[in-house]
Chains A and B, each alone.
Chain A
Amino acid sequence: MPIALLKFPTDLLGDIFKLCDPFQLYCLSKCSKRTQRSIQLGGTKKWKLSFRGRNAIVASLDGLHYNFGGTEDPDEYFETQKNWRFDNYMTIPFGEPFDVFFGFLGIFRIVEELDVAFGSFEQFSKAIRELIDRHIEIERIWIGCTPKVEKVDKLMPILNQLNITQKFSCLKKFPSEFRHQFDKYPNRILLHHSFWFNISQLLECTCDRIDLRESILSNQDMDMFFQKWKRPGSFPNLRWLHIAGENIDDKSSILEIIPPILNVNNPRVEVADRLYKHDNIVDPVRITKADGTEGWLKVELGSWPELKFLVLNPIAPNT
Chain B
Amino acid sequence: MSSTEQGTSSAAPAEPTTAPESAAAPEVPESFYYVHGKDKVVHKVSAGALQHSALIHGMISNLGYTEEQAKANPFPFENIDGDILQMVVDWCNQHKGKPTPPEDTNLPKQKEKLFDLVLAVNYLEIKELLTYCCKQVAMMVKGKSPEEIREIWMIPTDAEDEAAEKEAKKRAGKEAAGETAAAAGDAK
The interface on chain A, measured as residues whose beta carbon lies within 8 A of the other chain's beta carbons, has a size of: 31
When each residue 127-148 of chain B gets 1 if its CB lies under 8 Å from chain A and 0 otherwise, what string results? 0001100110110111111100
Q: How far is the CA of A21 from the CA of B143 in the complex (A)?
A: 10
B-chain residues with CB within 8 Å of residue A21 when the two chains form the complex? 142
Q: Determine the residue in chain B with the shortest Cβ distance to A4.
A: B154
Q: Are B115 and A3 in contact, with the CB atoms below 8 A?
A: yes
* Chain B CB within 8 A of A31 CB: yes
A-chain residues with CB within 8 Å of residue B150 when the two chains form the complex? 31-32
* Chain B interface bracket (under 10, 10 to 19, 20 to 34, 35 or more): 20 to 34
Quote the shortest CB–CB distance from B142 to chain A (angstroms). Answer: 6
B-chain residues with CB within 8 Å of residue A9 when the two chains form the complex? 122
* Chain A CB within 8 A of B97 CB: no
Quote the shortest CB–CB distance from A2 to chain B (angstroms). Answer: 5
* Chain A CB within 8 A of B151 CB: yes
Q: How far is the CA of A20 from the CA of B153 in the complex (A)?
A: 14
* Chain B CB within 8 A of A1 CB: yes
Within 8 A of B (CB), among A2-24: 2-9, 11-12, 15-21, 23-24
Q: Determine the residue in chain A with the shortest Cβ distance to B116.
A: A3
Q: Determine the residue in chain A with the shortest Cβ distance to B148.
A: A27
Q: Are B141 and A2 in contact, with the CB atoms below 8 A?
A: no
Q: Are A8 and B146 in contact, with the CB atoms below 8 A?
A: no
The answer to whether residues A16 and B122 also contact, given A2-B152, A78-B145 and a CB cut-off of 8 A, is no
A-chain residues with CB within 8 Å of residue B115 when the two chains form the complex? 3-4, 7-8
The answer to whether residues A6 and B155 also contact, given A12-B122, A15-B134 and a CB cut-off of 8 A, is yes
**By CB atoms of chain A within 10 A, which of B114, B144, B146, B156 has the most?**
B146
Interface of A toward B, CB cutoff 8 Å? 1-9, 11-12, 15-21, 23-24, 27-28, 30-35, 77-78, 80
What would be 10 A-B contacts, judged by CB atoms less than 8 Å apart? A1-B114, A2-B151, A4-B153, A12-B122, A16-B138, A18-B134, A20-B138, A21-B142, A24-B142, A31-B149
